Amino acid sequence: EKATGHIVDNCNQSLRSKLDKSLGKLFPVLEKCVAVNIPNWQPFEDRVEALII
């Protein structure tokens, strides 16, 4: 039981870091595009973090 949980945690962590890296590259590009096209744009990451918390 404990071992399985540990494996899942490890998988989640490596998935998260991979996701964070790709999102880190993607966000600035998206931000720029959206900021140019939508006035009064609120940074996307702020909204995502608000959703996650």
Q: Domain ranges in the chain?
A: 2-52
* Residue 22: pLDDT over 70: yes
Distance in angstroms (rounded) separating the CA atoms of residues 20 and 3: 26
**Reported confidence tier of residue 36, pLDDT bands at 50, 70, 90:** confident
CB 34 within 8 A of CB 41: yes
Please indicate, yes or no, whether the overall pTM of this predicted structure exceeds 0.95.
Answer: no
* Residue 42: pLDDT over 70: no
* Residue 43: pLDDT over 70: no
